[in-house]
Amino acid sequence: MDIRKYMEMAIEVMNKSIQEPRSDKVSPKVGAVLIKSDGKIETAFRGELRHGDHAEFTLLERKNRSIALDDSILFATLEPCAPGARKHPKLGCAERIVNARIKKVWIGIEDPDPSVDRKGIQYLLNNGIEVEMFDADLQEVIREANKQFIQEAEDRAKKVQTESIAFILSQKEKAETKSKLDDLSVEDIELFIKKATLDVKQNTTKFNRLFSQLGLLEEKNKAFIPTGLGILLFGTRPQLLYPNALIRATYKTLGRQEEIFTVEGALVNQADEIIQWYENHIGKQIDRSTAHRQTIYDYPTEVIRECILNAIAHRDYDLESAPVYFEIDDTAIIIKSPGAPVNPIRIEQIQQFNAPSLSRNPKIMYVLEQMGLVEQRGLGFQTIKSLPIKYNLPLPVVTFENPYMIFTFPRNINALKEVAGNDKLKELNEEELRGFDYIRLVQTIKREKYEEVFGYDKKKAERHLGRMVDLGLIQRKGGGPNTYYEIKLRHF
């Protein structure tokens, strides 16, 4: 099956979506493609047969209500709505998919509403349906087409609503019965209210309802108390309850004693503190080539900041025995984040720096986004992929050693030989190593493109590529004018 073809077909169908005849909000553009077990293909888009009807509802209930869809495959550009997302007695689209016995679902982007984000996906997974995400570049196409809808969905999260979905993704979404409201930082919450432009004042009924909706408070015995997420994000001392919700930093360099530093406190403050420590320990020079002096760090801060913020936002906080580790030595910068890749993301997609965007902790991500601490979703890997081109530095080596996702950033091209865990790299000279690292970035390449990128002649390009093939680092595919070279990811 040509998976990409059906992703693109779903996007094409999505663009036919019909806006509901209302002026108070924009409808999402959603397209769905159903591949039945007999090979027949059917499509639907939002509002196709009736204003407001979801694409999945149109496809499953209106077009195929009396047809058995067992073992069919569905492509949908937006995460199917979770149970409870629609007013009773309407079923959520995720429930309809389960009831139809669909075998596998490919999903474009997650729901932009932080209160339901990833809950439709989790419901499908919990009911034995295999889930995959669209390619990262196609996710950007979908987001751009739904830019206004996404903005409005994020803004609606700032307003008090009556509906709530009990389905949870993490134990930290539950009330933390050992805490009280005065365990939260008034100053940090006030900054969040200001930056997120929330129309509330602390310790009011509206504040309690809105922060409950955001998953930061919960009502227990007629009183509001923080949830685990509330304590993690805004607690004055969250480590009293969650001792490993912290960052352990280590600086090791030849000829100096090892230095250890621990970043505690609320998640909203951890990034700035650890980056300040990083900038105090990484090498730097002063660039006086322009009218304004500029500090140039030996390793770009923006890349490390992006990675450490991803660790803060996406780590598994239910793994309470594992902190984030941040290590600097003469060879590499290492960030260890607790938790396997969030289902359905695969380690191979992360190793290719092309994993679809999907947040393990949507509500944490939402708060950090509103505070301006993290950028638009999907930009993290773009920042990492800029290393060879923008900074002349190698890509990181990505591994999973239970329970940690580990990003190891070599501090120069030759350091890649030391950190990659593959002795074959040590047989490459510096030029060949840079060529190999570029192939890691693009995954596949033709000889002619290799010549163009590095300014080599045909003979030198063939020599480099041939050596990498002989060492088993890449493989030659195709034949004649269609010959190309492909990375062997199992080495990383």
Pick the CATH number of 427-491 from 3.20.20.60, 3.40.50.10860, 3.40.50.80, 1.10.10.10: 1.10.10.10
Element holding 477 (H helix, E strand)? strand 474-477
42 token code pair? 């059917």
| Distances 353 to 349, 362, 381, 440, 487 between C-alpha atoms, Å | 6, 21, 5, 9, 13
Percent share of the chain, pLDDT over 90? 83
Residue 450 burial (10 A CB sphere; 0-12, 13-18, 19+): buried
| pLDDT of amino acid 267 | 98
327 token code pair? 């290590």
Instruction: Give me the sign of the Cα torsion angle 466, 471, 476, 480.
Output: positive
pTM of the model: 0.92
- 130 contacts 121 by C-beta, under 8 angstroms: no
pLDDT-derived band of residue 85, with 50, 70 and 90 as boundaries? confident
| pLDDT of amino acid 297 | 65
Residue range 180-201: average pLDDT? Answer: 97
- 163-167, 206-210, 273-277, 386-390: range with lowest mean pLDDT: 163-167
Region of residue 84 (phi > 0: left; psi between -120 and 50: alpha; otherwise: beta): left
pLDDT-derived band of residue 455, with 50, 70 and 90 as boundaries? very high
| pLDDT of amino acid 355 | 92
pLDDT-derived band of residue 288, with 50, 70 and 90 as boundaries? very low
Cβ burial 168-205 (10 Å sphere, 16+ → b, else e): ebbebbebbeebebebbbeebbeebbeebebebeeeee
Q: What one-character-per-residue DSSP string does 373-433 give?
A: SS-STTHHHHHHHTIIIII--PPPEEEEETTEEEEEEESSTTHHHHHSS-GGGGGS-HHHH
List the domain boundaries for the chain.
3-156, 175-240, 247-416, 427-491
Write the pLDDT tens digit of every residue in 53-74: 999 999 999 999 999 999 999 9
Task: Indicate if the pLDDT at residue 167 is higher than 80.
Answer: no
pLDDT-derived band of residue 285, with 50, 70 and 90 as boundaries? low
Residue range 140-150: average pLDDT? Answer: 96
| Distances 458 to 277, 402, 426, 433 between C-alpha atoms, Å | 47, 44, 24, 18
Task: Indicate if the pLDDT at residue 49 is higher than 60.
Answer: yes
More confident residue, 389 or 290: 389
Residue 291 burial (10 A CB sphere; 0-12, 13-18, 19+): exposed
- As a whole number, the mean pLDDT across the chain is 92
Instruction: Give me the sign of the Cα torsion angle 442, 446, 449, 453.
Output: positive
Residue range 199-212: average pLDDT? Answer: 95
More confident residue, 236 or 161: 236
- 244 contacts 323 by C-beta, under 8 angstroms: yes
Percent share of the chain, pLDDT over 70? 94
Give the CATH architecture of domain 247-416.
2-Layer Sandwich (3.30)
Q: What one-character-per-residue DSSP string does 77-121 give?
A: EEPPPPTTSS-TTPPPHHHHHHHTT--EEEEEE--SSTTTTTHHH
| pLDDT of amino acid 242 | 97
Task: Indicate if the pLDDT at residue 86 is higher than 80.
Answer: no
Residue type, 238: P
Region of residue 47 (phi > 0: left; psi between -120 and 50: alpha; otherwise: beta): left
Provide φ and ψ at 333, rounded to 5°. -115, 125
More confident residue, 154 or 74: 74
Among residues 213, 86, 102, which one has the least CA distance to residue 156? Answer: 213
- 271 contacts 263 by C-beta, under 8 angstroms: no
Residue range 329-345: average pLDDT? Answer: 96
Write the pLDDT tens digit of every residue in 97-126: 999 999 999 999 999 988 889 999 999 999
Q: How far apart are CA 231 and CA 278, in angstroms?
A: 26
Domain 3-156 has CATH 3.40.140.10: yes
pLDDT-derived band of residue 257, with 50, 70 and 90 as boundaries? confident
| pLDDT of amino acid 22 | 85
The residue count for the chain: 492
